[in-house]
C-alpha cells in the first residue's frame, strides 16, 4: 500500500518519532541550549573585561610590549633548546641501537649507502691508479725520447 492510499492518521502515526528519539532530541537540545548560554556569558565577560582593561593596557603598553617580546623570545629559546636536546637523545638512542645490532628504522638505507660509497671509492682508487700509471708511462716515454 503506497503513502497516497493510507489514511492521514496512519501516515502521522508512522512518521512520529519513538520515545527514545524524543528523549535524545530533548537531551541534545538542552545541552546545546546550556552551552549556547555559557558561550554568550563568556563573550559578554570578555567584552566587559576588554572595556575595563583597555585604558590600563594603553597606559602600560611601553612597558608591556617589550616585556612580552622578551618573554616570547625566552620561551622560544627554551623550547628550541629542549627540542634540540630531545633530538640529540633520539639520535644517540638510534646510534646505540645501530651499533648494538638491533637494526633501528633506516639502518638498511644507511648500510646500502655505506656499501655504495665504498664501491665508488674502490672504483675511484682504481681509476686513480690507472691514471697515475698512464702519466708515469708518458713521462718515461718523454724522458726516453728526450735523451
pLDDT in tens, 114-128: 999 999 999 999 999
For residue 94, the 8-state DSSP code is H
First to last CA, the chain: 121
Is the Cα torsion angle 125, 129, 132, 138 positive or negative in sign?
Answer: negative
Nearest 5 degrees, angle CA 30-CA 33-CA 39? Answer: 140
pLDDT at 124 (0 to 100)? 94
Q: What is the pTM of this model?
A: 0.45
Dihedral, CA atoms, 88, 89, 95, 98, nearest 10 degrees? -140
**pLDDT tens digits for 67-85?**
999 999 999 999 999 999 9
CA–CA dist 109, 103 (Å, integer):
11
Question: Residue 35's closest CA among 23, 43, 19?
Answer: 43
SS3 17: coil
Contacts of 97 (CB under 8 A, 6+ apart): 103, 104
pLDDT under 50: residue ranges of the chain: none
pLDDT at 130 (0 to 100)? 92
Length of the chain: 147
pLDDT at 11 (0 to 100)? 66
pLDDT at 111 (0 to 100)? 87
Amino acid at each position: 500500500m503506497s503513502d497516497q492510499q493510507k489514511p492521514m492518521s496512519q501516515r502521522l502515526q508512522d512518521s512520529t518519532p519513538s520515545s527514545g528519539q524524543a528523549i535524545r532530541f530533548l537531551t541534545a537540545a538542552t545541552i546545546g541550549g546550556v552551552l549556547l548560554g555559557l558561550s554568550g556569558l563568556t563573550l559578554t565577560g570578555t567584552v566587559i573585561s576588554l572595556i575595563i582593561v583597555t585604558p590600563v593596557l594603553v597606559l602600560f603598553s611601553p612597558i608591556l610590549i617589550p616585556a612580552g617580546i622578551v618573554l616570547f623570545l625566552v620561551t622560544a629559546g627554551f623550547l628550541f633548546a629542549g627540542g634540540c636536546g630531545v633530538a640529540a637523545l633520539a639520535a644517540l638512542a638510534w646510534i646505540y641501537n645501530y651499533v648494538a645490532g638491533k637494526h633501528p628504522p633506516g639502518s638498511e638505507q644507511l648500510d646500502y649507502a655505506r656499501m655504495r660509497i665504498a664501491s665508488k671509492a674502490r672504483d675511484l682508487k682504481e681509476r686513480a691508479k690507472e691514471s697515475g700509471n698512464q702519466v708515469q708511462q708518458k713521462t718515461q716515454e718523454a724522458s726516453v725520447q728526450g735523451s
